Amino acid sequence: MPKDLIHALLSTRVTAERIERKNGQHCCLVVHGESNGCAIVNSVELSLWESTTPMNGSMSMNAERVGRSKWELDTPALLVDLNLVDQNIATMATFFRKTGVGWRPHCKGLKVPALVHKEIAAGAIGATCAKLGEAEAMAAAGVKDILIANQVVGAIKVARLMKLLALADVMVAVDSLENTEELSAASHRASRHLRVLVELDVGMNGAGIQPGEPAVDLSRKLRDLPGLRYMGLMAWEGHCDRVADPTERKAACEYAMGLLLDSAELCRKAGLPVEIVSCGGTETFQFTARISGITEVQAGGGIFNDLHYASQDVRHPFALTVLSTVISRPTPTRIIVDVGRKSMSDGAAMPMPKDLNDLKLNACRPSMERSRCRNPAESQRSETNWNGSLVTAIPPSACMTRWLGSEAAIWKSFGRFSPAAR
């Protein structure tokens, strides 16, 4: 998609008709107007979204909803605050520019190519995808430089990967000779040069070959295979998030990165052209990007932020939330809201209410379609009728919550936003 069109779509208010004419079915972000200071910017590129689980049958982001206040949405509704996304993208892009390390944001939790284009416009060098399907969606929307930070295995997927190479310059991770040979044979047959990184296990005990000699050995064999271009090494140090103390977490991260960098050095000594040393996520980017020798960092979810990242000292404002309705108040200290595990992730943290003004809730316990929340300040609020009130929840995991919602209401505030406009 041309850059000026993307810019126009993202920064101006245009009508649906204009978008449809210019863009066919892959319409981008559309602002149809404004209402009550916070208007819905159309959710979009639905044909590119991979989620097959509808969040809620009644929540269809059709034209009637576009341009209305977010407070008028049926609930539960997945909300993305575009102002805060822009702010978080700028924060991350500035950070990476200052550290001099390439930013290749993970898009497993975004799924909307228009947001990836925003990251690239802000300085990202490309996108990181968790899987082939995401990479296909990004490539179809014009993202050119894509890392699939995962193994692509088996005839069906490898054939798809070869087709994808016609659209984008894709790079994949390998951790076995079998898979490397499979990719080499397909790429050679297709007269392509697939870029490849060797993935190391630096303590996560997940995928990845062992650091040191095994990594050098696979790198050497890869370099000599036809159809492949050896680019270097990658690792994902996600296990560091289990370390609660920030100083110890930094040390754990540096230790893991030491394994990666020592292996890169061994590869170079063996005459291998290590151009890329890639790692890092939102939980760890503040450490990894400052370690000399790391060339790219894959942190992505920080553009939304969530309760898990916040527990890892990520201080960005929360841009992805879930709007829900209070549907019951069986006792003065208990309210029930219509958001549960089918529309918001649970996990390492409890969902947390936001925008509640003077209504203080804590201890939300999600079940499938609803959650129980406790109001500790019962005496203060006992006269309040909460039925039908709207509550915005911050999810524990933005990525998982995004995956649960087939559509998101992307909204933007205009001028002064007044919560009274509810």
Ligand X SMILES: Cc1ncc(COP(=O)(O)O)c(C=O)c1O
Query: Which strands sit side by side in the sheet containing 228-235, from one edge to the other?
Result: 102-103, 296-297, 276-279, 228-235, 194-200, 169-174, 145-148, 127-129
Q: At 388, list the tokens.
A: 């039908």
Residue 301 binds to ligand X (criterion: CB under 6 A): yes
Closest distance of CB 414 from ligand X, Å:
29
Residue 77 bridge partners (DSSP): 323
Residue 298 binds to ligand X (criterion: CB under 6 A): yes
Is 34 or 283 the residue whose CB approaches ligand X more closely?
A: 283
Q: Is 56 left (phi over 0), alpha (psi -120 to 50) or beta?
A: beta
In this chain, which of 96, 103, 236, 403 binds ligand X, going by CB under 6 A? 236
* Contact map string, positions 69 to 108, toward ligand X, x by CB under 6 A: -------------------------------------x--
Closest distance of CB 238 from ligand X, Å:
6
The footprint of ligand X on this chain (CB under 6 A) covers a number of residues equal to 11
Residue 386 binds to ligand X (criterion: CB under 6 A): no
Which 278-297 positions form the footprint of ligand X (CB under 6 A)?
A: 281-282
Residue 125 neighbours by CB distance under 10 Å: 16
Is 203 or 300 the residue whose CB approaches ligand X more closely?
A: 300
Closest distance of CB 95 from ligand X, Å:
13
Residue nearest to ligand X (CB): 281
Closest distance of CB 281 from ligand X, Å:
3
Residue 235 bridge partners (DSSP): 200
Is 49 or 236 the residue whose CB approaches ligand X more closely?
A: 236
Q: At 77, list the tokens.
A: 């509704």
Closest distance of CB 152 from ligand X, Å:
14
User: What is the widest separation between alpha-carbon atoms in the chain?
Assistant: 75
Closest distance of CB 217 from ligand X, Å:
22
Alpha helices for 191-331 (secondary structure H): 213-223, 246-269, 285-288, 307-311
Angle at 8 between CA 104 and CA 38, to 5 degrees: 90
Angle at 330 between CA 327 and CA 331, to 5 degrees: 130
- Which positions ≥6 away from 156 have C-beta within 8 Å? none
* Number of residues that this document lists for the chain: 422
Is 27 or 218 the residue whose CB approaches ligand X more closely?
A: 218
What's 162-198 look like in SS3?
Answer: HHHCCCCEEEEEECCHHHHHHHHHHHHHCCCCEEEEE
Whether 403 and 372 have beta carbons less than 8 Å apart is answered as no
Residue 227 binds to ligand X (criterion: CB under 6 A): no
Helix (H, G, I), strand (E, B) or coil at 103: strand
Residue 300 binds to ligand X (criterion: CB under 6 A): yes
Which 29-48 positions form the footprint of ligand X (CB under 6 A)?
A: none
Which 107-126 positions form the footprint of ligand X (CB under 6 A)?
A: 109
In this chain, which of 78, 120, 149, 276 binds ligand X, going by CB under 6 A? 149
Which 152-211 positions form the footprint of ligand X (CB under 6 A)?
A: none
Give the residue from 160, 178, 180, 156 showing the smallest Cα distance to 170. Answer: 160
Closest distance of CB 2 from ligand X, Å:
27
Whether 298 and 281 have beta carbons less than 8 Å apart is answered as yes
Is 256 or 359 the residue whose CB approaches ligand X more closely?
A: 256
Residue 307 binds to ligand X (criterion: CB under 6 A): no
Closest distance of CB 105 from ligand X, Å:
7
Give the residue from 242, 219, 383 showing the smallest Cα distance to 312. Answer: 242
Closest distance of CB 306 from ligand X, Å:
9
Residues in the site for ligand X, rule: CB under 6 A? 106, 109, 149, 236, 238, 281-282, 298-301
